Amino acid sequence: MENIDDENKDRQKERILTNFYCAGLPPHNRSLEFLFEVLDDAGGVIDEGGGNHQYDADTFAIRVKGSSGTMYRITVNYRSRAARLMAERFHEIDFDGGDGMDEQLAIGTLMHAYRRMMDFAVHWYDYRNGNWEQICIHESRERMPDCWPGDHVASTIMLLANDLRGAFEPPMNTLRRELRESYPVAWGAQQTPSDVTFTDVVKYVGYLERLANCESKEEAFEVRAEALKDLFDEDEEK
């Protein structure tokens, strides 16, 4: 049975890689391979029929369970027309800096203009009503991207797979807000590890509440350091 599941998973992966592949864009194609490596490491699954489909894009979804027990769905949208246009003159760009061009600035300039070539949306499953609730986890539209879209999806998978720890990263305001609901819901739905008690959930959510009510960066830094030590036995770097 396990071999059949592995074979189905491999076929799904190959279909998506074929559909999302773009000749002339090697970094994009490599980032897709990396995405699936990270998905395997996180224990996630491909959901080809899931997600919210968009009329102008090829779409697939992946599901990954967070350390909180929350089930997340990431819907990836790929617009081949934009990718093909990017590929037209991609070979002319010297990312090695031979002509004095900064590599990260070059990637950022390209990705900002083609931001919608491949984008994604994140939802978590609400056991209270059976709905998928959206979470806005993405870079600011004003900030220049610093990686290929597949790498961004991969980093989001890693973040969500370890959501209890990832929520304490300073930019993760939305994830912290959602976990104040999704973590107790996951516990009630028996999705958390068997040794997690409601006391554990209350303590964790308590730190999120304190962070949400901080009135200064200094206070937030102190609460975050206390939480990391108490919950994960980590010392905050100075």
Identify which of 230, 188, 237 has the alpha carbon closest to the alpha carbon of residue 206. Answer: 230
The per-type count for the chain, helices as H runs and strands as E runs, is 9, 5
124 DSSP β-pair partners: 72, 133
What is the pLDDT confidence band of residue 1, given thresholds at 50, 70 and 90?
Answer: very low
Identify which of 28, 38, 83 has the alpha carbon closest to the alpha carbon of residue 62. Answer: 38
* Token pair listed for 231: 């919950």
Instruction: Give the range among 49-58, 65-74, 117-126, 144-153 with minimum mean pLDDT.
Output: 49-58
Same domain, 134 and 30: yes
Which of 140, 161, 182 is where one domain is finished? Answer: 161
Instruction: Give the range among 50-64, 103-117, 186-200, 206-220 with minimum mean pLDDT.
Output: 50-64
What is the span of the domain harbouring residue 201?
167-238
- Predicted pLDDT of residue 95: 78
- Predicted pLDDT of residue 139: 64
Same domain, 201 and 104: no
3-class state of residue 17 by DSSP: helix
**Distance between CA atoms of residues 225 and 27, nearest Å:** 37
Q: Count up the domains in the chain and report the number.
A: 2
Same domain, 228 and 139: no
State the amino acid at position 96 in one-letter form: D
Same domain, 149 and 182: no
* Mean pLDDT, residues 227-238 taken together: 86
Whether the pLDDT of residue 2 is over 50: the answer is no
Which of 101, 127, 161 is where one domain is finished? Answer: 161
Same domain, 26 and 84: yes
Whether the pLDDT of residue 200 is over 80: the answer is yes
Q: What are phi and psi of 134, to 5 degrees?
A: -75, 145
